[in-house]
Structure 1
Amino acid sequence: MNLISRATFFNDQDCTLYNRIAWRILPLLFVLYVVAFIDRVNVGFAKLQMATDIGLSDMAFGFGAGVFFIGYCLFEIPSNMMLQRVGARIWIARIMVLWGLISASMMFVDSPLSFYVLRFLLGVAEAGFYPGVVLYLTYWLPSYAQSQGLVCLSLGVGVAGVLGGPLSGWIMQTFAGAAGLAGWQWMFLLEGLPAVLLGIVVFFYLDDRPGKVRWLTGEQNAKVVADLERQRKTHEQAGATHTFRSAFVHRGIWKLVFVNFALLCGTYGVSFWLPQIIRSLGEQSLLQTGLISALPFAVASVCMLIVGKHSDRTRERRWHASLSILAACIGLALSAALPAHPILCLLSLCLAMAGSLSAFNVLWAIPGTLLTGSATAAGIALMTTVGNLGGYLSPFMMGWVKQSSGHLEYGLYLLAALTFIAALVMLSIRPRPQTLHASGVPA
């Protein structure tokens, strides 16, 4: 079974080689991303019990959930610089171990202030993880195969949502009161420790770069190094068209920055508050809440693969992204309008999450159609940094709206309006058409 399709490559030799690399690194990176996303959003489940125990208001929860992204954004670029300096194996292992320890330490939260501090530190610890992993893929895969590697990582969000909700609900329900600890304390402990163990695995399993790795032959090592060096020189020549500064003055990139920001507002706004939304639809146990919360992510995972594959096959990005964003907008608006109809509300949340995650896969393929060379990297960094601020804004906004009005659905209407604007902005972007080299791979 190929993780990267045969149609991507010009010959069977390249297909076999790069799929061997993909099978070596992508499954582990996928698991890391699943654990990372669970540790980011499991605080939404913890709130179901923790809020009463430590005196956490809705607005305080929203601020604490979102302050994670302040620490993440502040230290994202320094973290990536350190990864390049000390090597991916050591630095990704460091990220995993430190964030796992801090995530587990959330069990000691006893006040809103300690909640804020640990959430901020968790963001600092995890800073640079996703862009670091993306950078790591560039060390091993040619550019025309990297998007399929990123799809594997993106699928981790859906899988994390499917597994994380039921797991969090089960832990909180099953371990409540054991050893004198609350269910939410056990959840932070048991979901934080896997990151520490995986960090140790990363240290002994990953290799920094190709060249002398033992699981490739000498000929294969030399070919990968030669292929990537040839690609680097080609990109440098193309970079004469667009400089690093070009990303900061390109209207299309700033439009993508806004679209990514809006999508992350909707995604994290729903993810952090999903357990509370589901609880408001009717009385359920913690395990039932977790199982129901998995449904939107399960639907989104399937839709994301279908939309991404169709977009790649047709080589069309703008309409795929715009219609996916519009679907997210409709889903958010309907979920806010139908709280009295639990099944319809849940189906609307499925539509909202499916639209958001489907749009992400297409969105990240667009910067390379607007810019070349170092400007592409700068555009991606700009999208990541500004976009993640949406992860801070939307949970806080949702908490403020709920505490001020008593109606969480008002916050969903605001997210729907923001997403609708993003769909219009996306339509105004004009990516250049993607062509094929003679080798059969994207230009």
Structure 2
Amino acid sequence: MKSSNLGTPADPSKKSGSRAWAVMAMLLVFMLINYADKAVLGLAANPIMRDLGLSHSEYGLLASSFFFLFNISAIAFGFMANRFPAKWLLFGMALVWGLTQLPVVAGAGFAGLLISRIVLGAAEGPAQPVAMHAAFKWFPNEKRSIPGALISGGGGLGGVLAAPLLTLVIINFGWRWAFLSLFLVGVLWCGVWAFVGREGTADRVSAPISAEPGAAAAFRVPYRRILLSGTWLAGFVGGFGAYWTSTLLLAWVPSYLETSLGYSAVAAGTIVTAPWVLKTVATFGQGALTQWMMHRGVSSRVSRGILGGCAVFLAGSAMLLVPLVSHPGVKIALITVAFSIGAVKFAIGQTINAEITPPAQRGAVMSLTVGLVTLAGLAAPYVTGRIVEAAGDPTTGFAIAFAIPGTLMLIGGLLAFAFVRPERDAARIAAHGRRIDQPKAAATPT
């Protein structure tokens, strides 16, 4: 027998855990860059409108153009994520993000900036669901709340860091230099990810309810069973309202702070970080709280569904109150809550979607969800621009525009309280599933 003094092999679980968190760190930075790319247009809204001679509605069209192909791309890449390694899908997306900044740096006018934003949107559409899918390959369901919060919270962290830094670049060097900085950061991420990125193996030992252990990769259900469940539909409404709000934060809130509330560009760039800070804290806090609650035996309905509903309802209430108060401090506090807390729904919603969906279909369902929810992003900037322009007075126009997402989030919160039931719907959905290597008759329970 060989002596035990020769040493023991490294614990594979520890090695896998280290790799999982290295991948998670890269995915967090990936989402940080993703949101910085989105935010730069809103931070440079006034100088862009001034330099290119754009009206509010024309700038609104430019902001909305980001979402022209966003939804279609998100859905298409979601089905690709079921078949191709997430590592290289993410690499390709980030590379395109960087390259789309170059025409702007080279002096593109309205048409060039429009095309650049359309292509950027197409490349960013699948970012969050594919990143979530990649992360969930490393963690089982009961440990996905924190990774899901990190992926979703990467956007908030991106806003916290990007808003003041990009504002300084815009003020001191010009708005085109902000796009150049994003090109450099994106290319650098691609270089590191090529060496760090890997595919996880957690799905190989998990399967949906009613499936045989180890059969996760071959287990499928009709997509309509997932998309017509009360859990998915209620989550969609709340997510739609929250995404409308997040798009306004990116596209219009900096301009609103300057034109309606009278703040300088520097002050507006500083104030707009407050929603990003609270969004980041709330998203990360939700992940830790949800995982702790589930560890203590609290149901997913409460720890995910009710918690997410409360967040969206609170954000909607604050949004509707913003135009009604006049005290500057109270107004900024309400803006901070209105444009931040609802984003908790993105992390919770996708974690719930993963809970009720077989792993083999997870990438597609999460991307379908993003593709449909982000239709709000296609409408919000342009609709807001038209409302502000038609109102004549920006203050009145923004008050009307803010009522739309406020109402949507209130409704979404109420629906979450009543209909988000992940455990029940997961069991119902799985009951209609089957192994793809089995005949259809075998899928019917006896």
Q: Structures share a fold, TM > 0.5?
A: yes
Structure 1 match to 2:406: 416
Q: Distance in 1 between matches of 2:155 and 2:134?
A: 19
Note the 1:54-133 alignment, pairs <5 A.
54-82=52-80, 87-108=85-106, 110-133=108-131
Aligned: 1:356 with 2:342: yes
Amino acid in the other structure paired with 1:386: L
Q: Distance in 1 between matches of 2:130 and 2:363?
A: 12
- Are 2:241 and 2:406, in contact at CA under 8 Å, matched by a contact in 1? no
SS in 1 for 2:138: coil
- Tell me the percent identity: 20
Structure 2 match to 1:162: 160
Shift, 1:30, TM fit: 0.7
Q: When the two structures are aligned, how many residues end up with a matched partner? A: 398
Q: Distance in 1 between matches of 2:233 and 2:364?
A: 12
Segment of structure 1 superposing worse, 38-47 or 63-72: 63-72
Shift, 1:87, TM fit: 3.4
Shift, 1:33, TM fit: 0.8
Q: Distance in 2 between matches of 1:81 and 1:375?
A: 8
Q: Distance in 2 between matches of 1:20 and 1:58?
A: 49
Aligned: 1:310 with 2:289: yes
Segment of structure 1 superposing worse, 342-351 or 103-112: 103-112
Shift, 1:277, TM fit: 2.0
Would the alpha carbon gap of residues 79 and 289 (structure 1) be closer, same or farther in structure 2, given more than 3 Å must change?
same
Aligned Cα root-mean-square deviation (Å): 2.8
The list of structure 1 runs, each at least 4 consecutive aligned residues, that deviate by more than 6 angstroms after superposition, is: 237-241
1:296 to 275, 295, 299: 275
Amino acid in the other structure paired with 1:166: P
Would the alpha carbon gap of residues 294 and 432 (structure 1) be closer, same or farther in structure 2, given more than 3 Å must change?
closer
Shift, 1:204, TM fit: 2.9
Q: Distance in 2 between matches of 1:237 and 1:31?
A: 29
- Are 1:336 and 1:409, in contact at CA under 8 Å, matched by a contact in 2? yes
Structure 2 match to 1:185: 176
Structure 2 match to 1:268: 247
Shift, 1:145, TM fit: 2.6
Amino acid in the other structure paired with 2:38: R
Structure 2 match to 1:398: 384
Segment of structure 1 superposing worse, 231-240 or 124-133: 231-240
- Are 2:220 and 2:361, in contact at CA under 8 Å, matched by a contact in 1? no
- Are 2:133 and 2:362, in contact at CA under 8 Å, matched by a contact in 1? no
TM-score calculated relative to the size of structure 2: 0.80
Amino acid in the other structure paired with 1:412: F
Q: Distance in 2 between matches of 1:28 and 1:162?
A: 18
- Are 1:73 and 1:385, in contact at CA under 8 Å, matched by a contact in 2? yes
Q: Distance in 2 between matches of 1:139 and 1:283?
A: 48
Would the alpha carbon gap of residues 275 and 23 (structure 1) be closer, same or farther in structure 2, given more than 3 Å must change?
same
Could you tell me which runs of 5 or more consecutive residues in structure 2 were left unpaired when the two chains were aligned.
1-10, 425-446
Structure 2 match to 1:196: 187
2:320 to 329, 333, 339: 333
**Per-residue displacement from partner, 1:249-282 (whole Å, max 9, x unpaired)?**
4343223222211211112122321211221355
Q: Distance in 2 between matches of 1:353 and 1:18?
A: 37
**Per-residue displacement from partner, 1:360-399 (whole Å, max 9, x unpaired)?**
3333333355555656655433321101111111111111
Aligned: 1:277 with 2:256: yes
Structure 2 match to 1:384: 370
**Per-residue displacement from partner, 1:289-331 (whole Å, max 9, x unpaired)?**
2122111211222233333433331441332122111111122
Aligned: 1:230 with 2:216: no
**Per-residue displacement from partner, 1:145-204 (whole Å, max 9, x unpaired)?**
3332121112212211111110121001111xxxxxxx1111111223211221122223
- Are 1:244 and 1:378, in contact at CA under 8 Å, matched by a contact in 2? no
Shift, 1:48, TM fit: 1.6
Would the alpha carbon gap of residues 138 and 298 (structure 1) be closer, same or farther in structure 2, given more than 3 Å must change?
closer
Segment of structure 1 superposing worse, 26-35 or 58-67: 58-67
